[in-house]
Chain A
Amino acid sequence: MSILLSEQKQNGKKTIADVTGPKAARLLEMGLLPGTTVEVIRSAPLGFPIEIKVRGYLLTLRKEEAECIEIE
């Protein structure tokens, strides 16, 4: 069963199941591939953007982008 990265509430490590939707191409290029581990670190004051760690660097995603990522 997979859920969207934008919907999960807990911080911590997750594995990406799939990347789809309008922003998929750019997310993939940034190294967010199916099978890659991402760590959700925190969310900004109003809930979004969220800050994640992937391949050793920190990236922030708005809601529309986090919605393109399915996690296992």
Chain B
Amino acid sequence: MSDILKNQPLTIALVGNPNTGKSTLFNALTGLKQKVGNYPGVTVERKTGSVEIDGTRHKIIDLPGTYSLNHKKVDERIAYQTLIGEYEYEETPDLAVLVLDSTNLDRNMYLATQVMDLEIPMIVLLNMSDLAEERGIEVDTNTIQKRLGVPVLPIVAKDKGDIQNVRQAIADHDLEAPKPLSWKPQQPLAEAITLITDEWLHPHTDLPDRAHPIEALRLISNNQVSDDFKNHPRREVAEEIIAKAQSQLEDAGENPTAVEVMARYKFIEQCTSNGNGNHRQEESETLSDKIDAVVTHKFLGPVILVAILLLMFQAIFSWAEPFMNLIDLFFVQAGNTVAETLPPGILNDLLVEGIIAGLGGVVIFLPQIMFLFFFISILEGTGYMARAAFVMDGFMTRIGLHGRSVVPLMSGFACAVPGIMAARTIESWSDRLITIMVLPFMACSARLPVYALMISAFVPNENAFGFISMQGLTFFGLYIFGIVMAILAAWVMKMFFTDGESTPFMMELPSYKMPKWSAVFYNMFERGWIFVKEAGKIIMAISIVLWFLASYPKVEVPDSITNSTTTTEASFNAQESASSYKLKHSYAGQIGQFIEPVIKPLGFDWKIGIGLITSFAAREVMVGTLNTIYSVGESGGNTTTLKQKLINDKDPDTGEAVFSTLSAISLMVFFALAMQCMSTLAIVRRETNSWKWPAIMFIYMTALAYICSLVVYQGGQALGW
């Protein structure tokens, strides 16, 4: 580095194709000094960190992985705009560090030649050189360096010594930018670039000069130019100039779409010293090929995938449970301790029932989230995830989803929250969004207590056809019902949101690798932390509101309930009745009674109404609320007594039973479909980076639930059930 620039803090961008080792390098350079968040307004994750080299602290940005700078997708656009210094939410990098996969240099160098055109100082790292060597792929670093005219370094991102070399290369860099168009476009293309630059980009846009060649090339190769200028005031001018450039090329016998790419690849093939781009197709079968022959096999592939999914499911479903119980116990204990130490009063209630309970409601998700991301990190790290998507894509596209939707949807059976977080492995935005939007239809474990209560109370414990348990069949039916609704919803949504430009599937299958354990654990904790930090606040806030609604206004419990008798048994019951009385007169109780006319046609009375309000905290809260309303004692507070009370409950006016099998089914249908989970909404807000999608989700799911329950209950009554 020249003396003036020495010790100047730099902003360094890591650029490269997906899966080339950018994040591995980023972690190795920054250690734990990193921040992760979202870019504003979009769903692309932003990772920044810092590294100290020779006493100077440089900032590092881990840009989203991209195959090219022809920005069709948001993450490509962010990478491009950041590199030309036009992205308002990111600093302009002083140095680009290109991370290339040595086992796949041709395609990786394509991006490198594009970045070189941006006149940004750069270093090229040929990563995965261990794998290249293993496979007998020869990489001629000197030739590449000579041709590109920038520092080129073969590395293994996992190797400490190599990381030191990278730090040295950053410190030694003279910050000279490479010359643009060093891949030497032929005469007709060069002329077309000049034409567009001089007649359009220069006079009519405010793009920085160094972005002109890339932008001109993008316009030349683009066959849907008009999309770019829909709202541009000089739209006609642009279209005319571009058409002129394109027809000049055609006259010279070139295909405007292909000419740039072909010229770049020709240059690349000279760098990698081969004539036709084909020399690297190894003839011998690699271990990767052998594994693939099994796991992507037409029949074995799906079987293996299902086995893996079941294992994952088992983990998030039952291995997480002891941890969840511990967390539960801890927060209950903490609540009790605080309740006893502080003087009784509003502050005490707020702390114990609002804040501590709310905090517990956030932390309780961590075991499932972390188990799921433990598995996902392994599946991604080994390269299996892409194979799973390949195997499932045929099935999933038929129902409007994506091969990568399988793992998130499957996780949704345990809990929608980790499932929605897992949807980030789906690259295409519209596919990811649809997966997120239908995922809460999967019958999550929080619905089980409600289903169990209703089924045991109102579905006869008999066998159909002599051997199929009716209760079991109802359970199974509810699962299938959720899946079918998810499929239908996905199919309908597919008609509404297509990306417009339909991003291609074209998925790379990376070669198998051993996962890096530190990365697996890091990812696990990172996802857990993101949940606590970003969804946690929302969940806390809503918990406090719900606590307030269920506890206020404080009412005087009439003497008839508090002091009726003095025997221990009776006073115990009276105690319970008091809390039932309080709940009924709270705001939540009033709302429950207020909405009764609306839910009456579904077969629900005001008690269920209160439960629908309180269970917004989490679906299983319904059971606790009914326990309170029906004054089921804590000691006998198992569902058997609640079950009896539900069965025996009579309408005081008509004397008819409040619940029937039909209204129970209607309630279960409602629970299967309604969006009654604030944690899900909070995580959707985080993952889609806007309140729009959680709002739409809440409205459409709840409306659908209402309609379906209405049809079930009214239809059932009309049929005389």
Interfacial residues, chain A to chain B (CB-CB below 8 A): 19, 22-31, 33-37, 39, 41-49, 51, 53, 55-62, 64-65
Contact = CB atoms under 8 A, between A and B. Distances in A.
A60 B509 contact: yes
A24 B505 CA distance: 13
A62 B390 CA distance: 10
A33 B296 contact: no
A33 B301 contact: no
A53 B281 contact: yes
B508 A57 contact: yes
- Residue from A24, A30, A56, A61 whose CB has the most chain B CB atoms within 10 Å: A56
The 9 A-B residue pairs with the shortest CB-CB distance, nearest first, are: A46-B394, A56-B280, A58-B509, A28-B261, A62-B505, A57-B104, A55-B106, A31-B107, A37-B278
Contacts of B394: 44-49
- Residue from A30, A37, A53, A59 whose CB has the most chain B CB atoms within 10 Å: A30
A33 B395 contact: no
B257 A60 contact: no
B35 interface: no
A22 B104 CA distance: 26
Dominant SS among interface residues on chain A? mixed
B508 A59 contact: yes
B258 A45 contact: no
Nearest to A61: B506
Contact of A33 (B258, B302, B398, B509): B258
Interface string B72-109: 10000000000000000000000000000001101100
A29 B67 contact: yes
25 contacts: A25-B257, A25-B261, A26-B68, A27-B506, A28-B258, A29-B70, A29-B261, A30-B67, A31-B106, A34-B262, A44-B296, A44-B390, A45-B298, A45-B301, A49-B403, A49-B505, A51-B296, A55-B106, A55-B277, A56-B280, A57-B104, A57-B508, A58-B511, A61-B505, A65-B505
B504 A26 contact: yes
A62 B137 contact: no
Contacts of B328: none
B671 to A, nearest CB: 34
A60 B505 contact: yes
A61 B506 CA distance: 5
A56 B279 CA distance: 8
A58 B386 CA distance: 11
B391 A44 contact: yes
A33 B262 contact: yes
Contacts of A27: 504, 506
B507 A45 contact: no
Interface residues of B, number: 48
Given A29-B68, A33-B258, A39 B296 contact: no
B397 interface: yes
Nearest to A26: B504
Contact of B70 (A25, A36, A42): A25
A19 B301 contact: no
B330 to A, nearest CB: 46
B43 interface: no
B391 A33 contact: no
Contacts of B397: 62
A45 B277 contact: no
Nearest to B301: A45
B39 interface: no
A44 B292 CA distance: 12
Contact of B103 (A30, A45, A57, A62): A57
A64 B502 CA distance: 11
- Residue from B292, B298, B394 whose CB has the most chain A CB atoms within 10 Å: B394
Given A45-B391, A46-B394, A56-B103, A24 B257 contact: yes
B393 interface: yes
Given A25-B221, A28-B258, A65 B504 contact: yes
B265 interface: yes
Contact of B258 (A19, A39, A57): A19
Given A29-B261, A33-B262, A42 B278 contact: no
B277 A31 contact: yes
A30 B301 contact: no
A16 to B, nearest CB: 11
A72 B496 CA distance: 39
B313 interface: no
Interface in B394-453: 394-395, 397-398, 403
Nearest to A29: B68
Contacts of A25: 70, 221-223, 257, 261
Given A49-B507, A59-B506, 14 more contacts: A25-B70, A26-B72, A28-B257, A36-B278, A37-B281, A39-B281, A47-B394, A48-B394, A56-B103, A56-B282, A57-B103, A57-B509, A60-B386, A62-B397
A21 to B, nearest CB: 10
Nearest to B224: A22
B258 A31 contact: no
A44 B393 contact: yes
A47 B390 CA distance: 11
Contact of A60 (B221, B299, B507): B507
Contacts of A64: 504
Given A26-B506, A29-B68, A55 B390 contact: no
A23 B257 CA distance: 11
B586 to A, nearest CB: 54
B110 interface: yes
B276 interface: yes
A62 B393 contact: yes
A44 B301 CA distance: 9
Given A24-B257, A29-B68, A59 B509 contact: yes
Nearest to A56: B280
B526 to A, nearest CB: 28
A61 to B, nearest CB: 6
Contacts of B403: 49
B506 A46 contact: no
A23 B503 CA distance: 9
Contacts of B510: 58
B509 A51 contact: yes
Given A57-B107, A60-B507, A49 B261 contact: no
Contacts of B508: 57-60
A47 B261 CA distance: 30
Interface string B269-306: 00000001110111000000000100010110110000
A31 B510 CA distance: 16
